[in-house]
Amino acid sequence: MIRFEQVSVTYGDAAAPAVQGIDLTVPEGELCLLVGPSGVGKSTLLQAVSGLVPHFTGGTLRGRVTVDGRDTRTHPPRELADVVGTVGQDPLSHFVTDTVEDELAYGMESLGLAPDVMRRRVEETLDLLGLADLRERPLATLSGGQMQRVAIGSVLTTHPKVLVLDEPTSALDPAAAEEVLAVLQRLVHDLGTTVLLAEHRLERVVQYADQVILLPAPGAAPLMGDPAAIMAVSPVHPPVVALGRLAGWSPLPLSVRDARRKAGGLRERLTGATAQGHGGAGATAEAVAVSGSAPAVISGLGVRRGRVEALRRVDLTVAPGETLALMGRNGAGKSTLLTTLAGMHEPTSGTVRVGGRTPHRTKPRALLRHVGLVPQEPRDLLYADTVAAECTAADQDADAPAGTCRALVSRLLPDVADGMHPRDLSEGQRLALALAVVLTARPPLLLLDEPTRGLDYAAKARLVEVLRALAAEGHALVLATHDVELAAELADRVVILAEGEVVADGPTGEVVLSSPSFAPQVSKVLAPLPWLTVPQVARALEARP
């Protein structure tokens, strides 16, 4: 269905091609997963299928890409619109119209289909994707998962033979991601659509894939094959595969179900060993509340944003050196809680104290020393046009001695040159730079909103190390995240929010084990044993050979 013949792509004046030596065929009706570390050219490969590379992005494409027999060199993206449907990571930038039904019809209108055909297909697609109740809703009022389903539906109505998706679940909470994946499953099984998909969060998708294409490193030739075989050699892999590799299972399990069947022996070996805490250096919240030195104390907090009550009766105390993960579905109030701690909203009821001060009444310059927030889009914090200028500005903002920020950057990002533009950094590097800028004022309380969005496993591992070191130095960390694996690895305590209220609050082990949607893969495999992450299991196995 999709054929790459000796394809290489070189952008503009880049010295080396973004991808090269691609020579592979994706057969019809398969769900094919594209994996690899950041920056190996996954998006380039996907855009080459829809013809956006090179017609829209520029650059030189050597070799030949054919989709359903059409050569992308002679067919611009609009001439491929009836064969290939493309959905990106951010559905909002994909929408042209303003209601669900119009959006579904837009592609068909462009192709000039007859009105009765359009009507029939819109109805079918509404049913297929479970969108019938939402048909007249304005797009701006949908939740993240609903938007992503509409975006998929909007390209399905033209009955494409190939569906190309770039990180469709990265921005979604676990439940919404399952919604989207269930839809993809149905398309492959019921309609025989060929799906080519790139995703960083492999733990969500790898068990559904028929084939995996691995781009191991920039410029390296791709490997394609059976998911289990590729996962055995892949530098990026989900925790369940890491556990399988650790325990030496063959073939490697890809889903929790497969792993549980093989895990009997491992569970026996681990019974009796005690799960070692991770981090866990923080004093207990109660002890600190008494002494009054907690970095953040929230009591009876309520916040309204417009007509929506974003938070209701929230009580929370964060101890020094404690790492706390805030979880919950999109729109549950996680970001509002963080921004309230940073003084960006005035509470409608209750009190917030950060380092003994009321954040929304404190001058930003003074508040900087008590709390630092890295927002969901770290780019929002960066204004200067070089890394060095950004560091100088951060030193001035925080009244820190010159060079403080640069020293932090060198620690977090050893290989970044002074003259680079923040925009040219990768997602992970940009996050590290924003983190360094915030840390320049040495705030005892550090807040991070969705820090792992768009990070590959290597960047995530580096981030975990950095954050652990910060916690050990006594910084209190609060992370708002959908990433259950990150929470399991890093957090001492997990707080789950729903509709603006705290519905669970306790040590990570207890909270995530009691909730199937927030449990990490390792704990699902080893339940009822209390292990959460692969490194924990590895340590326990080393201790008891």
Partner 1 sequence: MSAPRATRGTALHAGAWWLWALGLATAASRTTNPLLLGLLIGVAGYVVAARRGDAPWARSYGAFVRLGLIVVAIRLVFACVLGSPIPGTHTLLTLPEVPLPDWAKGVRIGGRVTAEGMVFALYDGLKLATLLICVGAANALANPSRLLKSLPGALYEAGVAVVVAMTFAPNLVADVQRLRAARRLRGRPDRGFRALLQVGLPVLEGALERSVALAAAMDARGYGRTAQVPPAVRRLTSVLTLGGLLGVCAGTYGLLSDTGAGYGLWVLLAGLAAALGGLWLGGRRCVRTRYRPERWGPRACLVAGSGIAVAALMIAANAYAPDALHPPAVPLTAPVLPLWPALCVLAGLLPAFIAPAPPAPAPRGHGAGAPRSAAPFTKEPSR
* One of 59, 70, 102, 281 touching partner 1 (CB under 8 A): 102
In DSSP terms, 99 is beta-bridged to 138
Return the DSSP state at 188.
Answer: I
Q: By CB under 8 A, tell whether 78 contacts partner 1.
A: yes
Subset of 313-332 contacting partner 1 (CB under 8 A): 329-332
Residue with tokens 């954040």: 359
Binding residue count for partner 1, defined by CB under 8 A: 95
Residue 54, preceding peptide bond in cis (omega within 30° of 0): yes
Pairing of strands 2-10, 19-26: antiparallel
Subset of 231-250 contacting partner 1 (CB under 8 A): none
Question: Please, which residue, 94 or 406, has the CB nearer to partner 1?
Answer: 94
Q: In whole angstroms, how close is the CB of 55 to partner 1 at the nearest point? A: 8
Subset of 179-218 contacting partner 1 (CB under 8 A): 179, 182-183, 185-186
In DSSP terms, 166 is beta-bridged to 198
* One of 13, 136, 268, 424 touching partner 1 (CB under 8 A): 136
* One of 9, 19, 65, 131 touching partner 1 (CB under 8 A): 131
Q: In whole angstroms, how close is the CB of 175 to partner 1 at the nearest point? A: 6
Return the DSSP state at 275.
Answer: P
User: Pattern 27-66, binding to partner 1, x per CB under 8 A?
Assistant: -----------------------xxx--xx----------
Separation between Cα atoms, residue 431 and residue 205, nearest integer Å? 25
Question: Please, which residue, 182 or 541, has the CB nearer to partner 1?
Answer: 182
Subset of 427-456 contacting partner 1 (CB under 8 A): 437-438, 441
* One of 133, 346, 418, 473 touching partner 1 (CB under 8 A): 133
Token pair for 215 = 């781009």
Q: In whole angstroms, how close is the CB of 46 to partner 1 at the nearest point? A: 11
Subset of 327-386 contacting partner 1 (CB under 8 A): 329-332, 339, 342-344, 364-365, 367-368, 372-373, 375, 379-381, 383
Q: In whole angstroms, how close is the CB of 534 to partner 1 at the nearest point? A: 29
Nearest to 167 by CA among 9, 54, 34: 34
* One of 88, 225, 280, 350 touching partner 1 (CB under 8 A): 88
Asked if 237 contacts 231 with a C-beta cutoff of 8 angstroms, the reply is yes
Q: By CB under 8 A, tell whether 489 contacts partner 1.
A: no
Which range binds partner 1 by CB under 8 A, 17-25, 206-214, 304-312, 515-523? 304-312
**Strand, coil or helix: what is 224?**
strand
Radius of gyration of the chain (CA): 24
Q: In whole angstroms, how close is the CB of 364 to partner 1 at the nearest point? A: 5
Q: Is the dihedral of CA 56, 57, 60, 63 positive or negative?
A: negative
Separation between Cα atoms, residue 99 and residue 154, nearest integer Å? 11
Q: In whole angstroms, how close is the CB of 388 to partner 1 at the nearest point? A: 16
| Nearest-10 Cα torsion for 488, 493, 496, 497 | -130
Question: Please, which residue, 86 or 452, has the CB nearer to partner 1?
Answer: 86
Q: In whole angstroms, how close is the CB of 132 to partner 1 at the nearest point? A: 9
Q: By CB under 8 A, tell whether 94 contacts partner 1.
A: yes
Subset of 389-408 contacting partner 1 (CB under 8 A): 393-394, 397-398
Return the DSSP state at 483.
Answer: -
Question: Please, which residue, 310 or 318, has the CB nearer to partner 1?
Answer: 310
CA neighbours within 13 Å on the CB side: how many for 433? 32
Separation between Cα atoms, residue 540 and residue 489, nearest integer Å? 15
Which range binds partner 1 by CB under 8 A, 5-13, 133-141, 231-239, 282-290? 133-141
Q: By CB under 8 A, tell whether 135 contacts partner 1.
A: yes
- The helix or strand, by DSSP H or E, that contains position 376, with its residue range, turns out to be none
Q: Which residues of 85-104 are buried (b: 16+ CB within 10 A; e: fewer)?
A: bbbbbbbeebbeeebbbbbb
Q: By CB under 8 A, tell whether 276 contacts partner 1.
A: no
**Strand, coil or helix: what is 69?**
coil
Token pair for 393 = 């500005």
* One of 226, 499, 501, 505 touching partner 1 (CB under 8 A): 499
Q: By CB under 8 A, tell whether 142 contacts partner 1.
A: yes
User: Residue 248 is which amino acid?
Assistant: G
Asked if 480 contacts 334 with a C-beta cutoff of 8 angstroms, the reply is yes
